[in-house]
Amino acid sequence: MMMLELHVWGPAFGLPSIDPESLAAIAFITQTAPRDQYQFIQSSPSAVPTHQLPTLYNPNSQTYHSGYPSITSHLLSLYPPSSPPSRKTAADSTAYSAFLTAHAAPLLALSLYVSSTNWSSTVRPAYSKILPFPLGWTEPPAIRAAMSRRAAHLGMSSLDTDATAEREEAEREAAVAQGWVNLPKGLGKGVGGALAPEQRARIRLEGLAGEVLGVLGEVEWKEEEVGTRCLAWAYLALMMVPDVPRGWLGETIKGKYARLGDFVDGGLGEPWRRWWARRKLKVTGRVDALQEESGELWRMAGMGVALVVSALLWKKLPQLGEPVQIWQKPLSGFLGLGAAGIMLGHLAETTVVDHWR
Amino acid sequence: MQKREEGPTRPTSTSTPGRWLRIRNGGPPRHGGGRKLSAARRSSITRTPHKSTMASTSAPWQWPVPRPLQQLFDSFPLVTYAATELPARSQPATSDSVPTLYVFASEADARLGAPSFNPGCLKWQTFLRLAGVTFRILPSTNHASPTGALPFLLPARPNTTPIPATKLHTYALQHGTCPPSEPSTLRLDAYHSLLDLPLRNAWLHALYLNPAHTSLLDTFYTAPASSSPWIRDALRLQLRRAAEAEILKTGSYLSAAAAGTAVVDGKQVYEGAREALEALAALLAESETGWFFGAQRPTLFDAGVFAFTYLMVRYMDGEGGLGGMVKGAGDGELEGHRRRVLEAARWGGEK
């Protein structure tokens, strides 16, 4: 009995996964494979040998398939579709998949990752929920940095108000150090300064969104291949569904591209809708189940995780937050009592050790 | 020396040994130098009286230069050469009436107007030729470009404002003899991302990261830059890192970046390229005119596809290489398309 393992990023925003490719892979496998032949494993890239999510593990051939394109092609080789797509459909699907990866991904990155407000209020907490303790501190900043690089060519780094605020703070401090008289914060910024960066850049953002959504909105997704349809659905769902404070992208879709909104609500067909309804019903209990399933894997990959994390800590210590925070156990018990306390504490410690033996 | 000779004559004329002594000890050692100094002092006093005290306690560099040294320095420069002529290859840049497109190319290729070896440059070179613009090409590097990237075009004089790649389309439509139309369809955008993503990544991977093509990379980019093997090694390393970062940025390697261990998966890159070429072949098969989207004449999209297929076939035609993929895509539509573009761009001699 074959049981495929699909390693994915964990759930967030009421969707099965926080990552578009993982989300697409989940949607794809529920529509192609029989229900008893796969299981989902909530994971982290450091816990799979390929260091990439989503990853499909096939225990029969003992192979890992990383990335959405290889997962779909492997699943299609296992469960071939009843009627192969026409040449035109296949070509269009390839083109739209490339378009989604090239253009929808940077747009999504702007909305969820580059925008400081959305990141700190919604996305970062979501990552903290799905990652175990040390990874929750190390991986999200790296993901955000990678996403910002991906969206850099759109020239909207002004949404990252953290960086702007840091620069302004540095300027203020420099001015204070030189003895200049200081205006109170926020004074002299004018009306533009009172607006959020998303509000100031709203027209440009809508223009960027329109370039991508205009193309996607013209496509008859029901006629495309399942793989491309799932990918489009995943990107659009992550654009629309998360309840973020700066919801310009979701508002643009709902306001101007109602067809895409309908597609997100019910475009993946009946099997997916049934699966999704079931999943929604037991979403609270399901998360625990997912984690239990993945417990074995966590243990197995524990060593790898520790190594990777120590490497990350070594390489990216400043990313954990400035200034570096060191948590020290507060003095308690005997140690609070001065020299005598230390002696007593010593005794207590040895007794503990004895106890453990 | 003259004044020193003058010294001994004075006592004879005045016949006062004391005066001779005074002149010799307390007088200025050199008449000319002394005069200069006092003149400078006078002027400083008349112009800026408040600085006179400073001038009187003058800094050591205002002491007169010893005459032999002065004479020595006066004789420099020994020879002044006539201004050097500009190098012959820069003539068109300053005085020519033919527009010049600056691309990555070897000197020999540039003289013949042969296709550039850089896909981005070749796309525009092909498009300008297809549009019937008369121009010449010159080899250059990114450092020469006002935008930091090649190609750019220097129009015919007296206009000397360089035209970056983003505005070349408009330029070709204005100055070409047979400007091609541009099919406006939303599918074009989708298919264009096949060039931007899978084909570009495959080209980057094959040329920069695949050790089999190191010699090609050296001929194209590192050898023209320097003759020193150390500098070439460093350059090659830089280019490889940049190419890898570029692929990782555009591919679906996001989660790997989170783990800090992103590695480019070559197999995945080539599989993506193969699918992209299949899709392009299928798109071309739909058209009856032989050009993409049923256009009557080759368009910018044709030039973009040709830039990759031509270079892949010409330089990577080995076993399992990208050239083989181009020829094998569909029923050989792309290979036929490549030949047609060569014909249309009047590159009949190329294969």
DSSP string, B279-331: HHHHHHHH-SSSSGGG-SS--HHHHHHHHHHHHHHHH--STTSHHHHHHHSTT
Inter-chain CB proximity B279 and A94 less than 8 Å: yes
Tokens 């036929």, residue? Answer: B336
Residue of B316, B109, B103 lying closest to B217 (CA atoms): B316
Q: Does domain B88-175 have CATH number 1.10.10?
A: no
pLDDT digits (tens, 9 = 90+) for A195-251: 677 777 788 888 889 989 988 988 888 888 889 999 999 999 999 888 888 888 888
Which of A282, A288, A241, A239 is CA-nearest to residue A15? A241
Residue B261 touches partner A, C-beta closer than 8 Å: yes
* Interchain pair B255, A53: CB under 8 A: yes
Query: What sign has the CA pseudo-torsion A117, A290, A240, A24?
Result: positive
pLDDT at position B46, please? 41
Distance CA B123, CA B19 (A): 92
CA distances from B78 to A46, A211, B70 (A): 71, 67, 15
Find the closest chain B residue to A142 by CA distance: B258
| Amino acid identity at B162 | P
Q: Which of A45, A70, A101 sits opposite B197 (nearest CB)?
A: A101
- pLDDT of B208: 92
Asked if A95 and A76 count as a contact pair (C-beta separation under 8 A), the reply is: no
So what's the pLDDT on residue B231?
A: 93
**pLDDT number for residue B309:** 94
Q: Two tokens at B331?
A: 């029923």
Cα distance between residue A301 and residue B162, in whole Å: 56
Asked if B261 lies within 8 A of A70 by C-beta distance, the reply is no
Q: Is B166 on the interface with A (CB under 8 A)?
A: no
Per-residue pLDDT tens digits for A300-310: 455 555 555 55
* Distance of alpha carbon B305 from alpha carbon B192, whole angstroms: 9
CB contact under 8 A, A96 and B190: yes
Summarize the confidence of residues B303-314 as an average pLDDT.
Answer: 93
Q: Is B304 on the interface with A (CB under 8 A)?
A: no
SS3 (DSSP) at B152: strand
* Contact yes or no for B197 and A90 at CB 8 A: no
Mean pLDDT of B315-322: 83
Candidate from B268, B279, B280 with C-beta closest to A70: B268
- Please give chain A's pLDDT, 357 residues, in tens: 678 999 998 888 888 889 999 999 999 998 888 888 898 988 888 888 888 888 999 999 999 998 898 899 999 999 988 888 888 889 999 999 999 999 999 999 988 998 888 999 999 999 998 888 788 888 888 888 888 888 888 877 777 766 677 777 787 777 777 766 666 655 555 666 666 777 777 888 888 899 899 889 888 888 888 899 999 999 999 998 888 888 888 888 988 888 888 888 876 666 666 666 666 554 434 443 444 444 445 454 555 555 555 555 555 544 444 433 444 444 444 444 444 444 444 444 333 333 333
Torsion of CA A264, A11, A63, A136, to 10 degrees: 140
**Cβ-Cβ contacts under 8 Å, B250 against chain A:** 101-102, 150
Residue A52 to residue B253, Cβ atoms within 8 A: yes
According to DSSP, the residues that pair with B138 across neighbouring strands are B102
**Among the partner residues B190, B258, B259, nearest to A99 by beta-carbon distance:** B190
Interface test with A, best of B192, B195, B253, B254 (most A CBs within 10 A): B254
Residue B59 is predicted with a pLDDT of 58
8 Å CB contact of A150 and B197: no
Flag if A98 and B278 touch (Cβ within 8 Å): no
A345 part of contact set with chain B, CB < 8 Å: no
A 279-318 residues with CB below 8 A of B?
A: 308, 311-312, 315-316
Q: How many CB atoms lie within 10 A of CB B37?
A: 15
B233 touches A at CB < 8 Å: no
Q: Which residue has the higher pLDDT, B350 or A122?
A: A122
Average pLDDT for B38-53? 42
Strands (E), chain B: 100-103, 136-139, 152-154, 163-164
Q: Which of B201, B262, B254, B257 is nearest to A22 (CA)?
A: B254
Phi, psi of B284 (to 5 degrees): -70, -35
| pLDDT value at residue A329 | 42
The residue to which tokens 């792309």 are assigned: B334
Q: In Å, how far is A152's CA from the nearest CA of chain B?
A: 10
> Is the CB of residue A141 less than 8 Å from the CB of residue A149?
no
Q: Tens of pLDDT along B243-293?
A: 988 888 876 666 566 555 667 788 888 988 999 999 999 999 988 888 988
B265 interfaces chain A, CB cutoff of 8 Å = yes
Q: Is A94 on the interface with B (CB under 8 A)?
A: yes
The answer to whether B268 contacts A88, with C-beta atoms less than 8 Å apart, is: no
Q: Please name the residue that has the structure tokens 């320097």.
A: B226
CB B328 within 8 A of CB B312: no
Tokens of B220: 């194209």
Q: Does B287 touch chain A (CB under 8 A)?
A: no
Neighbours of A64 (CB within 10 A): 17
Average pLDDT, chain B: 78
DSSP B164: E
When CB atoms are compared, the residue of A88, A96, A143 closest to B258 is: A143
Backbone angle region of B146, left / alpha / beta, with phi > 0 → left and psi within -120 to 50 → alpha: alpha
* Angstroms from B254 CA to nearest CA on chain A: 7
Please report the sign of the dihedral spanned by the C-alpha atoms of residue A171, residue A173, residue A179, residue A181: positive
- Pairing state between β B152-154 and B100-103: antiparallel
- Angstrom CA distances, A82 to A22, A77, A91, A240, stand at 25, 12, 19, 32
Domain-wise residue ranges, chain B:
88-175, 186-344
Cα gap B134→B296, rounded to integer Å? 22
Which residues of chain B make contact with A150, given a CB cutoff of 8 A? 249-250, 254
CA distance B215 to B223: 10
Structure tokens at A42: 């909530």
Instruction: Give the integer Cα–Cα distance in Å for A29 and A165.
Output: 44
pLDDT of res. A344: 45
**DSSP code of B62?**
G
Q: Which of A42, A87, A221 to probe by mutation at the B interface, max B CB count within 10 Å?
A: A87
State the Cα–Cα distance between residues B170 and B296, nearest whole angstrom: 19
Q: What is the pLDDT of residue B36?
A: 43
Query: Which residue among B187, B194, B249 sits closest to A98, beta carbon to beta carbon?
Result: B194
Encoded tokens for A155 = 């020239």
Angle made by CA atoms B237, B240, B241, in degrees to the nearest 5:
85
3-state secondary structure chain A: CCCEEEEECCCECCECCCCHHHHHHHHHHHHHCCHHHEEEEECCHHHCCCCCCCEEEECCCCEEEECHHHHHHHHHHHCCCCCCCCHHHHHHHHHHHHHHHHHHHHHHHHHHHHCHHHHHHHHHHHHHHHCCHHHHHHHHHHHHHHHHHHCHHHCCHHHCHHHHHHHHHHHHHHHHHCCCCCCCCCCCCHHHHHCCHHHHCHHHHHHHHHHHHHHHHCCCHHHCCHHHHHHHHHHHHHHHCCCCCCCHHHHHHHHHCHHHHHHHHHCCCHHHHHHHHHHHHCHHHHHHHHHHHHHHHHHHHHHHHHHHHHHHHHHCHHHHCCCCCCCCCCCCHHHHHHHHHHHHHHHHHHHHHHHHC
Residues of chain B contacting A148 with CB distance shorter than 8 Å? none
- Residues B323-342, mean pLDDT to the nearest whole number: 89
pLDDT in tens, A162-171: 667 777 778 7
A90/B187 Cβ within 8 A: no
- Find, in chain B, the residue whose alpha carbon is nearest to that of A109: B254
How does pLDDT run across B131-175, given as a tens digit for each residue? Answer: 988 888 888 888 888 888 889 998 887 777 889 988 998 898 888
In the prediction, which pLDDT does A1 show?
A: 61
- pLDDT score at B273: 92
Q: What is the pLDDT of residue A315?
A: 52
Global pTM reads 0.73
**Distance of alpha carbon A325 from alpha carbon A345, whole angstroms:** 26
Under DSSP, is residue B103 helix (H, G, I), strand (E, B) or coil? strand
- The HSE-up count of residue B235 (CA atoms within 13 Å, CB side) is 17
What are A290's two structure tokens?
A: 């997912």
In this predicted structure, what is the pLDDT of residue B23?
39
* Disruptive mutation site among B255, B275, B283 for chain A (greatest number of A CBs within 10 Å): B255
Return the number of CB contacts < 8 Å for A and B.
122
pLDDT (0 to 100) of residue A75: 92
pLDDT of residue A206: 87
pLDDT confidence tier of residue B54, bands split at 50, 70 and 90: very low
Q: Which residues of A touch B274 (CB under 8 A)?
A: none
Q: B256 and A45 in contact by Cβ < 8 A?
A: yes
**A111 CB near a chain B CB, below 8 Å?**
no
